[in-house]
Amino acid sequence: MSKVVIISGHPNLEESFTNTVILNEMEAGLEDVAIRRLDTLYPNYQIDIEAEQQALLEADVIVLQFPFYWYSVPALMKKWIDDVFSYNFAFGSKGDKLKGKDFILSFTIGGPEESYDPLGYNHFSIEELMRPLQQTAYLAGMNYHKPVYTHRMVYIPNVYNELDEVQGRAKDHADRLTAQIESITHSAQGRINKFVAEWFAKFDVLPEESDYFTQYLAKDIRLAMPEGEFHGHEGFRDWYSMARGVFKPACEHLVEQVEVKSSSTDTYQVELRIRLKAETYAESALKGEPVDMLVNETWQVSFDEQGKVVIHDYSVVPVLG
């Protein structure tokens, strides 16, 4: 199973009736998980940026676990985000270190579900209130997944909720979070999404040799490109040589949409929308003009016996207008 890191942003877990239950359940239920309790690590709010960034680099799935404070994360977690998601790490010209990682928000909410509605006293939905963190994931190039959250997670003795009910909801929350993580790491869609991110990250570099790409191509692959149709590994190499003659390295493929559909028992159709931003060579057909283009791609893929993605058909159609 892929490695999971859970960042606990509760400022005082010893006083939590729910986040502690969730963390304990996750620690017991997942095979390869590291839980970083920020309240224990940084009671003085002095974040060890290098250690935290290294923990993220080693992970495939990043989970932020926190109580919902004033429509956002607690101050300790906000400072962690501000410090750790730094320039040229999480964003910027060299800030691709989190690109392709899976990102989940998991949080507990005190108020009832009906209050997060235009007619309720909180007015906005949870999804709307999470937009800043969703955009944070997008800017860092991570795969943002549907958040896991639970309402009515406050316990005040003899005043608000019963302890066994609240902790029961916490265990159910942990079950749902575990199921989502396992779906991401084991499902065909999750594996294909991760492969897509890695594939285009490599294309951004445009390495001289094409071996990285051909290892994932069926020997009889068909490529339908704007430049024409190409077949087999040699055909791919011909097309790749053309592409390297036009686009400069350090281009950017932004994966705007991925949809995976089962074609048969062992093959999948992958529909993608990709935005390419790149500089071109003056001697190329594009005469040095920068490119900002949107394309629709359709792949036919399967998994080999080792679980590696194999692409059998690869079609690219520019979106006009």
Q: What is the pLDDT of residue 94?
A: 87
Contact (Cβ atoms closer than 8 angstroms) between residue 145 and residue 133:
no
259-285: pLDDT as tens digits: 999 877 789 999 999 999 999 999 999
Mean pLDDT in residue range 204-209:
95
Q: What is the mean pLDDT of the chain?
A: 93
Encoded tokens for 158: 């003899």
Q: Is the pLDDT of residue 176 over 70?
A: yes
What is the structure's pLDDT at 186? 82
What is d(CA 139, CA 16) in angstroms, rounded to the nearest whole number? 32
- Residue 290 confidence (pLDDT): 96
**Is residue 31 very low, low, confident or very high in pLDDT (cuts 50, 70, 90)?**
confident
Q: Is 49 helix (H, G, I), strand (E, B) or coil?
A: helix
The DSSP call for residue 265 is: S
| pLDDT tens digit sequence for 39-74 | 999 999 999 999 999 999 999 999 999 999 999 999
Domains of the chain: 4-186 (3.40.50.360), 191-318 (3.10.450.50)
Residue 7 has pLDDT above 80, yes or no: yes
Q: In 3D, which of 93, 91, 38, 86 has the Cα closest to residue 63?
A: 38
3-state secondary structure of 167: helix
Choose the weakest-confidence range: 9-13, 98-102, 130-134: 98-102
Q: Which residues pair with 253 in a beta bridge?
A: 276
pLDDT at 160 over 80: no
- Residue 143 above 90 pLDDT? no
Higher pLDDT, 186 or 319: 319
pLDDT in tens, 74-118: 999 999 999 999 999 999 988 989 988 999 999 999 999 999 999
Per the confidence metrics, is the pTM higher than 0.75? no
C-alpha–C-alpha distance, residues 79 and 89, integer Å: 16
Cα-based distances in Å from 221 to 111, 228, 244, 299: 54, 14, 20, 10
Give the tens place of pLDDT for each residue, 218-256: 999 999 999 999 999 999 999 999 999 999 999 999 998
| 27-31, 42-46, 210-214: segment of lowest average pLDDT | 27-31
**What three-state secondary structure class fits 71?**
coil
Residue 1 has pLDDT above 50, yes or no: no
Looking at the predicted structure, is the pLDDT value of residue 321 above 80? no
> What's the rounded mean pLDDT across residues 19-37?
94
